[in-house]
Structures are given as C-alpha cells and as structure tokens.
Structure 1
Amino acid sequence: MSATAPTPNTPDLESRTVPEDHQDLRLWLRLLTCCNLVESEIRSRLRSEFETTLPRFDLMAQLQRAPGGMKMSELSRHMMVTNGNITGITDQLEKEGLVERVKVATDRRSSLIRLTAKGRRTFKKMAKSHEEWIRAMFGGLSEASRGTLFEVLGELKLLTQPQLSGRP
C-alpha cells in the first residue's frame, strides 16, 4: 500500500477509521500513519538541509555499510527497487563525485559501486543529522515505551515474515 503523509489540511489514514472497524485494521493504519509521518519529515529535512532525496541517502547508507562496494544487483536487492532506479541514482551521485564505479576484474560486465572520499564525508554529515532527527522525533516517548514498542514490533515482524508469499 502506497500512501503519502498527511498534510495539515488532509486527514491521516488512521483518522479515516471508525470505532466499528476491526482493531487490526485500525492498528495497521496507525502504524502506517506513524511511518508516513516520520518518513515525510525525514524527506523534507534531507531536501531542505542537504538538497538530496531519501533514495539517494538510502543508497549511500548501503554503500557506507559495504566499504568494498556493491554491485548494482546487490543494491537493488537491499533497497528493494529496480536496477533502473539504482542506475539513475548512481549516475547522479557519480556526476557529483559522491560514488564511483569500479570494474570487477573477474566479470567485465559488472562494476562495484562505492562511496568516494567526498561521498563518505557527505554521508557522515547526513547520517549524523538523520540520527538527531530520529532521536528528536522519538525523544518524547519514555525509554520504557520505546523499549516496549521495539519489542512488540519485533513480535509483529516475526509473526508476519512467514506469511509473506514465498519471500525470504
């Protein structure tokens, strides 16, 4: 389900429910609303403070975790988007000197994508701000509430994964 985050003039997904709706539906829409609100804020801040997008940030985050680089297919799988999306983002980041393509010696058709020194510095600044934004958004919850929410969402994750249609 793809939904955009609510704006001040539009109700969020959860507000569209009524008490007669099944509690699981109401829970799902509350969870989705929270995700949309957080994601919208992150997208906005990345755009205004770093003139970048969430997909570009996500790609750089994947590469930060793989200093040796990653193939396009690996990036595509990790980010759950098409190779075409990865190629477009990579092309932009390469033009800006943030990533580089390195040919794989054993496979002439493949390249590894990795952060440049400039890319690592840039990502480090973005990641620091990203962490601060997340901490500020979740900071109003008590430590106990954050722990409980983490545990309960972990349970939901474990219960949901086997139900995915043939997905690993």
Structure 2
Amino acid sequence: MDIEARAHSEHPEALRLWLRMLTCSQLVEKQVRTQLRERFDTTLPRFDLMAQLERAPDGLKMNELSRRMMVTGGNVTGITDQLVAEGLVERIDVEGDRRAYRVRLTPKGRKLFNEMARQHEDWIVDAFSGLNEKEIGTLYKLLGKVKDHATQPRQETAP
C-alpha cells in the first residue's frame, strides 16, 4: 500500500493533499534531474546555482549564493569550483575586501545556461500538460493561498 493510500484511510483530507503535492513535486523533480543529467551532463544544484547567477549579471558573493539557494557555503563552494574549472563561471575580486569575491557566469556559462533554461521550461510545461490553462490557473491561485497562509506569523496558544 503506497503512502497516499495509507493517508486516505487514516488521515484528514489536508494530509492527503500534502502527500499528493509532495509526490507530484518529487516526480517532476526526478524527471528534471534525469533530463539535466542525460541532455547536459549536469545536476540540478549546478543548474540552480547558474540560475541564481543568471538573475545577477554582476555576480553574487558566496554568502549571497548560499542564502538564495538555501544550502551551506561548503555546498556552494564545491559546485562553484567545478563550474570555474569548466569555464562556466568566474570569480571576481571585491574591491575593498581582499577576502571576498563575486561569482558570475562567463559568456560560455551564460550560453549553456540559456539553452538549459529553455529545455527546463519545456520539461515543466510538459509535466503540467495533463491540465488545461484554466486548471493550471486555478491550482496556481489555490497554492498561492496556501503560501500566503503559511507565511503568516502564527500566534502561540496557551494551554
């Protein structure tokens, strides 16, 4: 019996919905990871780092990259080292701070990322192709309500 089936018999609808969302997210992510590996010989974390740099043409400091990607500095350093070795990103000194540097895409990295991003968009569109435009819009709005509610500060209730 799969996890969704167990949730159906044992738990409220909200939990079933959460498990369905998680399952869908994991399935789509697995497809994207597979496609990135097969088509571009790369990983999702590398794609994510390059996506952050694409949004910041002047580059980002390592701590900014870590924060944006929600991973440790060590993870970012390892990925950055690989991408520098491949000529896809470069390190630039930060004026006035000899210990810091910014990381930015090279022209070669920007070209490759743009190609990967176009493919990534196609994969995501395909993942949702079982829904029509109205259903996609409705789901987007409903998940927006969940997001808004989840980001609201919670009041602790006294026992």
TM-score under structure 1 length normalisation? 0.88
Q: What's the secondary structure of 2:58's corresponding residue? A: coil
Offset of 1:41 from its aligned partner?
Answer: 0.4
The counterpart of 2:68, out of the listed 69, 78, 84, is 78
Q: Comparing both structures, which one devotes a greater share of its residues to helix?
A: 2
Gaps of 5+ in 1: 1-9
Gaps of 5+ in 2: 155-159
* Aligned match of 1:57: 47
* Aligned match of 2:115: 125
Coordinate RMSD, CA, aligned: 1.4
1:38 to 2:33 alignment: no
The counterpart of 2:105, out of the listed 97, 115, 119, is 115
1:99 to 2:89 alignment: yes
User: Which whole-Å CA distance do the structure 1 matches of 2:121 and 2:30 have between them?
Assistant: 15
* Aligned match of 1:7: none
* Aligned match of 1:6: none
* Aligned match of 1:146: 136
Identity rate, percent = 56
Offset of 1:130 from its aligned partner?
Answer: 0.3
Distance 1:15 1:50, change over 3 A: farther
Q: What's the secondary structure of 1:52's corresponding residue? A: coil
Q: What's the secondary structure of 1:19's corresponding residue? A: helix
The counterpart of 2:18, out of the listed 25, 28, 39, is 28
For residues 103-155 of structure 1, the C-alpha deviation after alignment (integer angstroms, 9 at most, x for no partner) is: 00121111000000000000011001000111111122011100000000000
Letter in 2 for 1:85: N
TM-score under structure 2 length normalisation? 0.92
Offset of 1:20 from its aligned partner?
Answer: 3.3
Q: What's the secondary structure of 1:103's corresponding residue? A: strand
For residues 69-94 of structure 1, the C-alpha deviation after alignment (integer angstroms, 9 at most, x for no partner) is: 00000000000000000000000000
Structure whose CA Rg is larger: 2
Moved over 4 A (4+): none
Q: What's the secondary structure of 1:139's corresponding residue? A: coil
Letter in 1 for 2:54: Q
